[in-house]
Structure 1
Amino acid sequence: MKLQRSGFVAGIALTATIALTACGSDNVEPTTGGTSAAPGDCVSGSLTAQGSTAQKNAMDEWIKAYQTKCGADAKVDYQGTGSGAGIEAFIAGTADFAGSDSALKEEEQPQADAKCAGGKALNLPMVIGPIAVVYNVEGADGLQFSSSTLAKIFAGKITKWDDPAIAAENSGAKLPAANIETVHRADESGTSDNFTKFLSKTAEADWTYGNAKAWKAPGGTAVSKSDGIATKVKGTANTISYIEMSFAENQSLQTAKIKNGAGEYVALSAESAGKTFENAEIKGKDGDLALSLDYATKTAGAYPIVLVTYEIACSKGSGKAKEIQSFLKFASSAEGQKELSELGYAPLPETLRAKVAESVASIA
């Protein structure tokens, strides 16, 4: 079915129609309400969660706003340990919910479901996090790359900044005859999974390492967590890496334009990343909202390297169901999503946000 998108992305009104097609049986039209957690929705108690570093800045803001609204007795502790660690903690029962930049893998789903007595683990998209390609090359402002060139750089096939392939895409740029130092995540990361998914879907001939949370390509420098990547690139000349837009903005890093499926080199912004979701497909069902993204999007003005951060939570069977529902109700509310605009994230399209709120309301 076609869903209409309204609302704001980074404060800019968007009126595009979103083709979020529900593939499963969850074809109920969403409501367009979504008030924030009012005092009557607040639940005293404590939650422990961990996972995605991509959403850490969003979580910090949500927790602050939620506790301001609900009081000090409504406690949420979220640690940015990485998506892989978050899912492991959820499966082990040491996290009440997990943050992940990828939906649960097929082999992870039954393990996660086992923690939900009489229910299942839901993938609830909560944050749209554009992935920036960041670099530190003195005097080389405004660089742009195709997926093929990026794949060759991160696979170690292009090793110099003045390589002809880079020069061909950056006419007039001041490119040094210096070695390229690629930087990737040392820990399992949904950001790595989404970045390598983009490469594997759009530059298959040049990227033969597939996609995964764990980095598989040889060479390069491994650094833990998103803030570690940002610090490394900012402090080291001739580096290139991938990182969530919010962390790139916090460190004032140079970001590259990326060529999309329409042949356009598009600058990174919340608005341009949001356009990639115009053809997103809901592949989950029965309240699960795992998405399938088109990394080769031909939508005009779409920035193609994006991720969605999910909250992994039990549909029922959790001993902290009321607390989880209360906090995620705030995060998925229109008010909660507005908190994202100034943090380098894009709020969920309104129709998707309403479906997330509907799934959260069913947690028992």
Structure 2
Amino acid sequence: MKSGRSTVLAALLTIGAVMVSACSDSATQLVSAADPSAGVDCGGKGELRAGGSTAQAKAIEQFGYAYSRACPGQTVDYVADGSAGGVDDFIANELDLAGSEAALDPAKTQPERAAERCGSPAWNLPVVFSPIAVTYRIAGVNNLSLDGPTLAKIFNGSIGSWDNPVIKALNAGVALPALPIHVVYRGDRASSTASFQRYLDSASDGAWFAGGGDMFNGGIGEAATGNSGVATALQSTEGSITYSEWSFAVGKQLPIAQVVASAGSAPVAISAESVGKTIAGAKFVSDINANNDLVLDTTSLYRPVDHGAYPIVSATYQIVCSKYPDAATGTAVKAFLQAAIGPGQDGLDQYGSIPLPASFSSRVLAAANAIS
């Protein structure tokens, strides 16, 4: 790996026999007690090199444990140094697979450069899905419902008070105070910001005009660093609202708003069931020609058609070669993904991500099985 990526933000996760011995009993119970090698075609190189997205680091920890159980002696070393770094290192042939919140970008010639590195087309396989929570602090308000257009207007400053008629209309019977809204946002680069802004752009019916990316563009509010920073800022100011990873919000016991999705008028809370419905209804750009490059049509996530589906969901891709120049690497990558999509999904919600529903996992598994 490039030495420049060894920063305090990068976490080296050595997943395998060493990690297995360090796992707690509770982590061990996350993997199915059934035959761990069932459905996993073990073999190939003993150690895979992987890296990229920090958002999926905990999920990869679970996947790596499932892989090492299924294929004793085979390990994955994952460096969580960000999606951009992972993609760059994959294209430079420094990684066997990479994790990224965004698919390979044609505008940056990434698919072409990845295909040159692979000697075959590179595929984007979405395996990790994590909900983004909208959290708030309003004394005496234990239930709050918001929708895409309203969230966009809150986070771009068009709505500035909690007793605004638009918010009151979504919260009949709730005593909302005449209190200024204090927006808190991630001031550092964050995948949660990128996902949240993509949702606002897609689900707000034009109310979000600030653009996207992993830096917040709303133009208002208080910046804070990391999930911990935004939580501290939220808790210190009455009337605050922010967004964060679901697992962090739950761990900090922050009030979480329910979100009204485009599919219906009822507000939806985050749960394995509600996010599972969103994943099950996801569409692929490749549905046009039914190939195995499973780039998501993100509109299908942010504007789900199923009632009871939670709409603010972040997806992370595993970027792989469809056919590796080294057959041993291809065999090991396939086995790792089989373990990730299979036993690695058990209890994944305890790590802040949502297990793949059967209808979705079967499509992704078919693509993984085609890797050589």
What TM-score, normalized to structure 2?
0.76
Preserved contact between residue 51 and residue 87 of structure 1 (Cα < 8 Å): no
Aligned with 2:118: secondary structure?
A: coil
TM superposition shift of 1:138: 3.4
**Distance of 1:238 and 1:98 partners within structure 2:** 40
For each residue in 1:83-137, what CA deviation from the matched residue of structure 2 results, as whole angstroms up to 9, or x when unmatched? 3343334334443322222323332433552453321221111122222212233
1:204 and 1:69 mapped to 2: Cα distance?
A: 47
The answer for the alignment partner of 1:95 in structure 2 is 95
Q: Is the 8 A contact 2:51 2:98 kept in 1?
A: yes
Residue of 179, 183, 192 corresponding to 1:177: 179
What one-letter code is carried by the residue in structure 1 that aligns with 2:353? Y
Cα 1:147–1:167, aligned 2, differ >3 Å: closer, same or farther? same
Report if the CA contact (8 A) 1:116-1:316 is conserved: no
Higher mean alpha-carbon deviation, 254-263 vs 58-67, is at: 58-67
How much has 1:330 moved relative to structure 2?
0.8
Give the C-alpha shift of residue 146 in structure 1.
1.7
Mapping of 1:181-220 within 5 angstroms? 181-184=183-186, 186-189=188-191, 191-220=192-221
Write the distance in 1 (CA, Å) between the matches of 2:280 and 2:370.
26
Among residues 279, 282, 294, which one is paired with 1:280 in the alignment?
A: 282
Q: Which residue identity does 1:259 align to in structure 2?
A: V
Pairing of 1:295-334 with structure 2 (within 5 A): 295-317=302-324, 320-333=329-342
**Are 1:127 and 2:128 an aligned pair?**
yes
State the match for 2:84 in structure 1: 84
8 Å CA contact 1:84–1:188 kept in 2: the answer is no
Task: State the alpha-carbon separation in 1 of the partners of residues 77 and 102 from structure 2.
Answer: 21
* Alpha-carbon spacing, 1:159–1:357, altered in 2? closer, same or farther (3 Å): same
> Which of 342, 349, 359 pairs up with 1:351?
359
SS in 2 for 1:345: coil
Bigger relative contact order, structure 1 or 2 (CA pairs below 8 A, ≥6 apart): 1
Query: Gaps (5+ residues) in structure 1?
Result: 1-33
- Aligned partners of 2:194, 2:81: CA distance in 1, in Å? 15
- The alignment partner of 2:276 has SS state of helix
1:209-248 matches, cutoff 5 A: 209-226=210-227, 229=230, 233=234, 238-248=239-249
Measure the CA separation in 2 of the matches of 1:75 and 1:194: 30
Structure 2 CA distance for aligned equivalents of residues 88 and 214 of structure 1: 20
Aligned to 1:107: 107
**Number of corresponding residues:** 327
- Name the CA distance, whole Å, in 1 between partners of 2:107 and 2:239: 39
User: Offset at 1:337?
Assistant: 1.6
Contact 2:115 2:321 in 1 (8 A): no
1:288-328 deviation line (CA, Å, top 9, x unaligned): 11122422334222222222221111212365433322222
CA 1:235–1:104: 2 relative to 1, 3 Å: farther
Residues 101 and 232 (structure 1 numbering): CA distance in 2 closer, same or farther, change over 3 Å?
farther
Aligned-partner SS, 2:177: coil
Any idea what the Cα deviations from partners look like across 1:226-246, whole Å, max 9, x if unmatched? 565556545665432223322
Please report how far the alpha carbon of residue 164 of structure 1 lies from its aligned counterpart in structure 2 after TM superposition.
4.0
What is the distance in 2 between the residues matched to 1:306 and 1:43?
34
- Given the superposition, is the C-alpha separation of residues 156 and 351 from structure 1 closer, same or farther in structure 2, using an over 3 Å criterion? same
Deviation of the 1:149 alpha carbon: 1.4
Distance in 2, Cα, partners of 1:185 & 1:321:
39
Instruction: Identify the range of structure 1 (277-286 vs 136-145) with the bigger mean alpha-carbon deviation.
Output: 277-286
What SS does the aligned partner of 1:107 have? helix
TM-score (norm 1): 0.78
* Matched residue SS, 1:301: coil
In 2, the alpha carbon distance for the partners of 1:51 and 1:304 equals 21
Distance 1:135 1:67 in 2: 40
Following the alignment from structure 1 to structure 2, what is the Cα–Cα distance between the partners of residues 87 and 222? 28
SS in 2 for 1:64: helix
Aligned position for 2:51: 49
Residues 106, 241 of structure 1: CA spacing in aligned structure 2 closer, same or farther, 3 A cutoff?
A: farther
3-state SS of 1:254 partner: coil
Partner of 1:360: 368
Displacement of 1:42 = 7.1
- Post-superposition Cα deviations, 1:51-72, rounded to whole Å, max 9, x if no partner, equal 141x22211222233334434x
The question of whether the paired residues in 2 share the 8 Å contact of 1:155 and 1:218 is answered with yes
Name the CA distance, whole Å, in 2 between partners of 1:84 and 1:233: 29
- List alignment gaps of at least 5 residues for structure 2: 1-36
Sort the Cα spacing of 1:219 and 1:79 in 2 relative to 1 into closer, same or farther, 3 A.
farther
Aligned residue identity for 1:152: K
